[in-house]
Each structure stands twice: as C-alpha cells, then as structure tokens.
Amino acid sequence: MIMNMQEYIDEAEGALLHTYNRYPVVLDRGEGVYLYDTDGIKYLDFVSGIGVFALGYNNKEYNNALKSQVDRLLHTSNYYYNVPAINAAKKLKAVSGMDRVFFTNSGAEAVEGAIKAARKYAYLKDGKTDHEIIAMNHSFHGRTFGALSVTGNPKYREPFLPMIGNVRFADLNDIESVKEQITDKTCAVLLEPVQGEGGIHPADESFLKEIKAICEEKDILLILDEIQCGMGRTGYMYAWQRYGVKPDIMTTAKALGCGVPVGAFLMTEKVAQNSLAAGDHGTTYGGNPFVCTAVEKVLALFEENHIIEHVREVAPYLESCLDTLKEKYDCILERRGAGLMQGLVFDRPVRDIISRALEEGLVLINAGENIIRFLPPLIISKANIDEMIDILESCMEPQEEQAE
C-alpha cells in the first residue's frame, strides 16, 4: 500500500524507538547531490548522511560493483579469507599509510577496537590493568560504552554511568591541559583532528606535533579518530596527513563505504605486533565480501575521479561564501572548519533556521545548539554552493529582521 508522507511518519512514530528528534520528511531516493522525498520534493543535500555519501547518490559504478557482489557472495566467516577484504585492506593501507587493518561495522566499533588495542599494548608491557586514556573535552566518538566513555560531553555519559573508567579529559589545542593529565598509567591519547559533533574545531598543527612528541617520548599511543574528518573531507585522505602527524592507531568509517555500514581501525606494525592477537577481538559481519566491495570501489573512485583534488578546488569557495555570509549577518559569530567540513557559529539556536531551510529544499544539520554544520558530498560544485547560500540566506533574513 502506498502512503503519503504523513502516514509514513505516523507509522514510524508507532513502531520505531524514539531516540531521534527527526525532521518531518521521509526521504526516498537520491541523485548526485540531491535527495527526493516520498512526495517527489527535491532537496539540495549539505549533510551527505552526516559525512557518508562522499561520492553523491546513485553513482552507477559504485552501484554496479555492489550488485555484482550480491550475485557472488554476500557473507562468509572471518575464519576464511575473501578477495574483496584483501583488496580493500591493500587499498586502505596505501591511502592511509598505516600497516594493519581491522574492518568493523561502524565508527563506534572502530573506536572500541582502538581502545582495546591500546590497553592490550600497555598490558603486554607491564602486565597491569589500570592503564588510562586521555581524551578531549567536547569530543564525540560514538554511543557504545567504550566509545561513550571517551566522549568528552558529560550529558551523553551521565545517564549511563558508570563508564569503563580510567579515562581523563583534556582540552583540544591546550597542550598544558594534556600534560596535566599524563601519569605513569597513561597508555593512549585519543582525539579527532577536527572535532565534528563538538562544534567543528580543528586541532592546531603545533598541538598535534607536541602531543606526538610526548607520545613518542613516553611510549604512549596516539589514536586519531578520523571517522568524520577523514576520507578526503579536509582536502587530504586523512586530516592528519596535512601535518604529517602519523598516529599509532587510527579509526575511519562514514564515507569509507559511502552508504554501506563499514568502519575500520588501523595501526602501525609495531602496535600490531604488540597488541591484539588471535582471540582478542572479532566480529561476525566486519570485513565481509559485500562491505569490502564497497570500500574497494569507493577508494578506486576517489582516485579515478580525483576527489581529493576537487575538494581542494571547491572548499576555498565554500569558505569564502560562508565568510561573506558571516560579514553580512551580526547573528553569525564565527566560521570555522577545514575543507568541506565547515561550521557557522550563531548567537542563538539554529534549529529554526535548519527547519526553514528544509522547507525550502535544503538539507542542513547542526553541531551543538548554535552551530550549523556543512558536510556536503565531496562532488559538490560551486554552483551547488551558490544555491545553498541563496536558500540559507533567505531563511535567515526574517530572523535577522525580527532580532532588530
């Protein structure tokens, strides 16, 4: 039975657990940088599934690769090898500069694996189980217990206490706050090179380099969470590559599968040889032939379509347009970000602006109460940016006039 959009929403409200405050739209299909709802209304997408659809929607080469794999083999156990996983791991190693790969089902699971690897590394050094991890305030790493334990926002953690424990928090770009948290129990420092959910805060180059130096001196592992800022979004395949601050362990997900749920944590050979061993970690679905076909094809299309080069070309234009908007409207306090991961900081909550934009055919998302986050597909054009700015500005002007 075909229903109208409101009927679909009513069905969802009666069946799904209410853990999201959803906008009243039922999305049905996508094409390029546009989405369409069940009523056929078209939307310019500047969210890309929260940084997932880097290649845009309905990419034929990507679709055909997945269709072909469906007819071959969807799943097998990790007790056996499969060709897509081998090929995907090889490509991922090449673009990341890391040495070993473990495929997961999500970003949060990748963070869980990274935490376990760091603690096992420390355990093998001294046989103790009281090691500590330093994470950053305002960070976000996921909602499973381990990932939530290192997420630097108390409102996410408090209802579910106690967490896994032995986690200390420092401030991004404040090296002294990190030094204050280091003890002889510290086994890892975990951070996002660009904080996403926490407000689009890029880490300073000097901060990353100082942390790396401390970690090397004290044999502490540096874990970089590249789940949102990775996969080309900042103009580098991974954001740390801009500064040459290579992590010991790295997490990736979101655009890694461009819609297929897959993540990974990667590590150097040193960590691999001195941490997780057979039986220490596992997953039923992680690295199966279907998801790894997606990873392999995504990485191939990034190279063939020169996605990184395109981001470097179009991102400065997005920054310039957002800066112009900031200069025009007093309610915009700041523009910050890197590449095609940008945020506008407002002096008020932004949900009304986002809701208005949706009504006008533009999909946006917040990062905190007063920040609009811009995470378009990486194939976005300057014309698409102009279209976005026109719609956004039309949604802001009434509010600006009212404020006056």
- Domain residue spans of the chain: 5-55+306-403, 61-304
Instruction: Indicate the CATH number for domain 5-55+306-403.
Output: 3.90.1150.10
Q: The tokens of 307 are what? A: 């996605």
The pLDDT value recorded for residue 148 is 97
51 close to 365: Cβ distance less than 8 angstroms? no
Q: pLDDT by residue (tens digit) across 41-75?
A: 999 999 999 999 999 999 999 999 999 999 999 99
Amino acid 282: pLDDT: 96
Which residues sit opposite 30 in a β-bridge? 35
Asked whether the beta carbons of 333 and 13 are under 8 A apart, the reply is: no
Q: What is the pLDDT of residue 400?
A: 47
Q: pLDDT digit string (tens) for 258-271?
A: 999 999 999 999 99
* pLDDT range class, residue 398, cuts 50, 70, 90: low
Q: Please report which helix (H) or strand (E) contains residue 180, including its range.
A: helix 175-181
Whole-number pLDDT of residue 396: 85
Residue 399 has pLDDT above 70, yes or no: no
- Structural domain 61-304, CATH architecture: 3-Layer(aba) Sandwich (3.40)
Res 244 pLDDT > 80:
yes
Residue 3 is predicted with a pLDDT of: 87
pLDDT at 401 over 60: no
What pLDDT, in 10s, does the model give residues 128-149?
999 999 999 999 999 999 999 9
Average pLDDT over residues 285-302: 98
Tokens of 226: 């590249």
* pLDDT tens sequence across 267-283: 999 999 999 999 999 99
SS3 content of the chain, % helix, strand, coil (to 5): 45, 20, 40
Residue 403 has pLDDT above 70, yes or no: no
* Helix (H) / strand (E) containing 134: strand 132-136
Please, what's the largest Cα pairwise distance for the chain?
66
Number of DSSP helices (H) and strands (E) in the chain, helices first: 14, 17
d(CA 45, CA 27): 11
Average pLDDT over residues 189-218: 97
Per-residue pLDDT at 2: 79
Q: Are 186 and 220 in contact (CB under 8 A)?
A: yes
User: Which pLDDT score is estimated for 402?
Assistant: 44
CA distance 108 to 147: 6
Poorest-pLDDT segment among 1-5, 156-160, 373-377, 388-392: 1-5
**Same CATH topology for 5-55+306-403 and 61-304?**
no
pLDDT at position 216: 98
CA distance linking residue 131 with residue 152, whole number of Å = 18
Backbone angles phi, psi at 373, to 5 degrees: -105, 140
CA distances from 34 to 41, 47, 353 (A): 10, 11, 19
CB-count burial class (<10 Å; 0-12, 13-18, 19+) for 262: buried
The residue-averaged pLDDT of 296-310 equals 98
pLDDT tens digits, 167-180: 999 999 999 999 99
- Judge whether residue 93 has pLDDT over 80: yes
pLDDT at 102 exceeding the cut of 80: yes
What is the distance in angstroms between the CA of the first residue and the CA of the last residue of the chain? 49
Alpha-carbon distance of 371 to 336, in angstroms, equals 10
